[in-house]
Amino acid sequence: MDVKYDLTVVLVRPETPGNIGAVARAMKNFGFKNLVLVDPCEIEDEAEHRAKHAKDVLGGAKTVDRIDWDRYDLVVSTSSETGGGYNVLRNAITPVALRDKLQGVEGKVALVFGPESKGLRNDEIAEADFLCHIPANGEYPVFNLSHAVAILLYELSGSHGSETYKLAGKDQKRVLMENLDSIVEGVDIEDYRRGPLGLSLKNIFGRAMISSREANTVIGFLRKIKENLG
């Protein structure tokens, strides 16, 4: 499986030991091994039982109190809920679109899943570069955690590409957004529009997955705009 990027599956506050084991098994099925558990439930025997022959993935999982967002060049959050065109925070892409976007990239990518009962909080989704949603039957669109992981990893395991490019790092994207936020604050628009505009720009650059060189170029351009705005 010729995946160029370094993928980590992050489970935030997982509630069921069996699901954690099943996620490890799905990861092993598709050739992924980096698993991070954020404030998880107690890891019981059921987790090892469900992991089957993926006990190495489960045993190698890193347990942390909170996500180190800055560790990753790209963060993809997941949700069973979307906001259509009216909720900017929950504008989502499909697993197939995610696969296509990641084709040929190099960098550290985090695929983040929330707890089984509630999913990720809005503030956690806001930390991500973009949101991925698995389309399903409207009468019952919520997947089991391990099933959702398996579906996404199935798509991502087929992400092949002969050419690669280096993703912009977290620090570069932070500087880019600081410059954008400064410009948004400096233009003559109604105050109530600034927040949604800033969030929309963040989403645009997140989904664009710009390269490190592109980020530096855009940052230089934004600084020139700030100079001209005074």
| List of residues 6+ apart from 6 with CB closer than 8 A | 34, 107, 108, 109
Q: Which residues of the chain carry a pLDDT beneath 70?
A: 1-2, 82-90, 159-163
Q: Are 8 and 110 in contact (CB under 8 A)?
A: yes
Pairwise CA distance, residues 25 & 3, whole Å? 19
Give the model's pLDDT for residue 92.
Answer: 85
Strand-strand pairing, 105-106 and 165-166: parallel
Q: Which domains does the chain have, with CATH numbers?
A: 6-165 (3.40.1280.10), 170-229 (no CATH)
| List of residues 6+ apart from 89 with CB closer than 8 A | 83, 122, 125, 126, 131, 199
Give the model's pLDDT for residue 139.
Answer: 85
pTM strictly above 0.85: no
Residue type, 49: H
Largest CA distance in the chain: 63
The tens digit of pLDDT for each residue in 155-199 reads 998 755 556 788 999 899 999 999 999 998 888 889 888 888 988
Give the model's pLDDT for residue 163.
Answer: 67
